[in-house]
Structure 1
Amino acid sequence: MKWFVRIYLAFFILHTDEMDSSSMGNRKDIHRTPAKACRSISGVTGLLSLAACMLAAPMACAAPLPDQPSALRRCPATDAAAVPRIFAALGKERHPALKKVLAAGDNPNPCHGGRTPLMIAAAGGDADALHMLHQAGAVIDAPLDPQGGTALHAALGAGQWRAAAILLERGADTRLRDDYGNTGLHQLANSVHGTDPGVQTALADSMLKSGAAIDAAGPQASTPLMLAIDAGKRELAAFLVDQGADPALRNARGENALAIARRRALPGMLEMLERCIGQRPPRCAGNATAARYSTR
C-alpha cells in the first residue's frame, strides 16, 4: 500500500513539473538539487526513476501511543519486583505526596499485591485520590485484579458508594464481570454494607443508564433482583422490578424471586413480589416511574 501511494505521488509530481516546464520555457540556468534532478526526468523512464527515488526515501512512522494496560491484563497475586513508590503515597492523609509522585511522571497503573492504586483508592473511598489518579492517566477498568475485578467492583464490594459513583461518572464499564460472574449491578445488590436505600437505587439507576443488563445471570444464575432480595434490600428490589426486572426467572437452585423471599422469611418483600407476579410494571412495586430498561 505504501508503494502504491509513493508511485501515485511520483506521477503527480512528474505531471506537475512537466506542466511547469512548458509554461516556463527552456531555462538552462535553474539550479538543480538531487531531488529536483529526480523530478526533472520525463516520460515512462522518468516516472520509473522517480518512483525508485521515492521508494528509497523512508516514510516517517507514527509516534507510538503511550503504554496503557490491556483490558485483559491482570495484576499478579504475588510481586516479584520492588513496590512502586506510588503505593506509599496512597491514603487520604497523603494527597500532597501523591500529587508530587504523579507530577514526577510515575506510572499511575502499576500493580502491587494484586491491586492498582485506583483500586486501593476506590476501596478506601478516597474521592480526591481517584480524581488525581484519573487525571494522571489511570485507566478506569484495567488492569484487573487476580479475580477479574475492576476498581468499580472494589468500590462496591467495600460499600464505598461515592467512589463507585465517581467511577461511573468517569466511564466505568458496568457490564464487566469478575471470575465469579458478578457485574457491577450484582456487586451492588449483594453488598453487605448498609446505607441509605436511596443511594443504592441511584447507583443502580446510573448503571442501567450506562448499559447494565437488568436480568444478567451472575453467580449460580442469580440476577441482581435475586441477590437484592436475598440481601433483604426491599427498596432496591422494588426499584429493579419497576425498571423491568423479571421476578419469574430462576437461579441454579430453581428458585425464583418469590421463592427466595419465602426462604428468607421477608414479609414486606413477599407482599411486594406477590403484587408484581403476572403484572406489568410500574405499578407492581408502588413506583410511578415507567420501566425504561431491557430485561435482556
Structure 2
Amino acid sequence: MTSRRRTLAWLALAAAAPVAGLAHAGAYEDFFKAIELDNGAAVADLLRRGFDPNARDPKGQPALIVALRGDSRKAAAALIAARGLKVEERNAKDESALMLAALRGNLSAARALIKLDADVNKTGWTPLHYAASGTTQDAAAMVALLLEESAYIDAASPNGTTPLMMAVRYGTADVARLLVEEGADPTLKNDLGLTAIDFARQADRADMVDLVAQAVRRRQPNRGQW
C-alpha cells in the first residue's frame, strides 16, 4: 500500500471512530445526561455522530419522552429534529411524546410532533387528557391547539374519564371553561358512575363545581340546583 493510500485509509478510520465509539456505555450515559441537563447542543452533536434518537433509558423510556417529561426543551427540540425519530414510540404506560408535550405545555414541541404525524387521537388516554390536566401558563393554549387539530373533546380513557373530568380535578379554570365553551359534555359518567361535578367535588374545588353545574343547567334548563 502506498503512503498516500495508507493516509487515506487512516483518515477514513478516524472519521468513523466517533460513530463507532457511540456504542460504548460512556456515550449512552453522556446522551441521557445531556438530556437531563437540557444540553441541546450536546444532544444534537451526539445525534449527528450517529446516536439513535429512539434510544431508551435504563427504565425503558424513549429519549424524547425523557426530555419532555423533564421539560428539557432544548434537548427535546434536538431530538424532534433528528432523522429517523419515531414520534409514536411509547413507554410502558402507553404514553406518547405528544402526551408529555401536552402535559408540560410545550407548544413548540407539540406543533412539531403534529407536523410529523403524531397521533392526536390515540386510543386510551389521549394528549387532550394530559393537556387538560396541565397547570402551566400555556395549558389553555395547548388544549386549543389540540382541538384545532381535531382532538375528540369527549375522548374516553380506559375507565371512561373525559378531558373535562381531568381539567376540573387537576387543571386550571381557564382550561375547564374552554372545554365547556367548545362543547365538552358535562353530563357524561365514567365507569364508576362519576361525572365532572363529582371529580370537582372530590378535589374540593367549589369554583369548578359551579362552572360545571352552570354548563349542565344550560344543557338541561329544567334540572334542579346542585
Q: Same fold (TM over 0.5)?
A: yes
Match of 2:61 among 105, 115, 118: 115
Q: Runs of 4+ in structure 1 displaced over 4 angstroms?
A: 81-84
2:77 corresponds to which of 131, 134, 143: 131
Corresponding position: 1:229 with 2:195: no
Q: CA deviation at 1:145?
A: 1.2
Residue aligning to 1:150? 96
Q: Which residue does 1:175 correspond to in 2? A: 121
Would the aligned equivalents of 1:201 and 1:235 in 2 still touch at CA under 8 Å?
A: yes
Aligned to 1:252: 191
Gaps in structure 1 of 5+ consecutive residues? 1-80, 281-296
Q: Is the 8 A contact 2:39 2:75 kept in 1?
A: no
Cα distance in 2, alignment partners of residues 213 and 97 from structure 1: 38
Q: Which SS does the other structure have where 1:279 is aligned?
A: helix
2:49 corresponds, among 104, 124, 143, to: 104
Q: Give, in angstroms, the shift of residue 205 of structure 1.
A: 0.7
The answer as to whether partners of 1:86 and 1:117 remain within 8 angstroms in 2 is no
The structural deviation recorded for 1:203 is: 0.3
2:27 aligned residue (85, 91, 113): 85
* Aligned-partner Cα distance in 2 for 1:112–1:138: 18
Identical pairs, percent: 28
List runs of 5+ in structure 2 lacking aligned partners. Answer: 1-22, 220-226
Question: Match of 2:89, SS?
Answer: coil
TM-score, normalised relative to structure 1: 0.56
RMSD of aligned C-alpha atoms?
A: 2.6
User: Does the CA-based 8 Å contact 1:200-1:236 persist in structure 2?
Assistant: yes
Alpha-carbon distance change, 96 to 86 in structure 1, aligned in 2, over 3 angstroms: farther
The CA distance in 1 between the partners of 2:151 and 2:179, in whole Å, is 12
Between Structure 1 and Structure 2, the one with more helix by share is: 2
- Asked whether 1:218 is paired with 2:161, we answer no
After TM superposition, give the deviation of residue 129 of structure 1 in Å: 2.0
Q: Structure 2-normalised TM-score?
A: 0.72
Residue in structure 1 matched with residue 19 of structure 2 by the alignment: none
